[in-house]
Structure 1
């Protein structure tokens, strides 16, 4: 009787632990991004983001290959837990390379204020 309980307990632990997976190198935010562009968008406040959208359209035209790993991060709970340690300000545009932020534009900005630093970062990807 004691052995059957012990066997069941051990099997339960083995099944439980085998469902866990090891993570490869991660950033502080729990991400593994070699190259990526993250746009933090507050969907309820599009007026403040006009310059970001204009800059993103032009940047995508100038650097089409660099937008393969482009993500929009909406301001909601699903993404907050994953991406909040990288940025908490909306709107914001981050360029990530080798799990590090190489460019960060935050808050209300003009189109040129957004494009210049992001273009400089994306030029290095070529």
Structure 2
């Protein structure tokens, strides 16, 4: 009987501590002072994204900082898709100062990914 209050308090603490599930929603942190590349991917459909992977590899040669700071968003993080009006993966966006400079969606060739991104990257940051 003496251990019953201790057991009840312990059980109560255990139950109340397990009820405190706060989901920490990670916000997509975009540095507005630089051009930022955002790649939306669906791991289940990687065959459709091969041209994107090839383009990213090629862009890394000319713009290593752009690729180093690239944000990758999976289909599981669907809340970010709606932030940029992306309905399906794959997609790649180049954003600067809260503006989308380049938007490429769907299955496209490597050159159709590289050319507009390279052109936008070569423009001055003051006048995108």
Pairwise same-fold verdict (TM > 0.5): yes
Give the secondary-structure state (helix, strand or coil) at the position aligned to 1:45: helix
Give 1 or 2 for the bigger CA radius of gyration: 2
Tell me the number of residue pairs that the alignment of Structure 1 and Structure 2 aligns: 96
Moved over 4 A (4+): 29-32
Q: Note closer, same or farther for the CA distance 1:68–1:104 as it changes in structure 2 (3 Å cut).
A: same
Given the alignment of the two structures, is residue 38 of structure 1 paired with residue 38 of structure 2, yes or no? Answer: yes
Gaps of 5+ in 2: 1-26
Structure 2 length normalisation: TM-score?
A: 0.67
Q: Distance in 2 between matches of 1:51 and 1:113?
A: 9
RMSD of the alignment, in Å?
A: 2.0
Per the TM alignment, residue 53 of structure 1 is displaced from its structure 2 partner at its CA by 0.1
Per the TM alignment, residue 117 of structure 1 is displaced from its structure 2 partner at its CA by 0.6
Gaps of 5+ in 1: 1-28
Per the TM alignment, residue 72 of structure 1 is displaced from its structure 2 partner at its CA by 0.8
Given the alignment of the two structures, is residue 81 of structure 1 paired with residue 76 of structure 2, yes or no? Answer: no
**Does the Cα contact within 8 Å between 1:37 and 1:94 map onto a contact in 2?**
yes
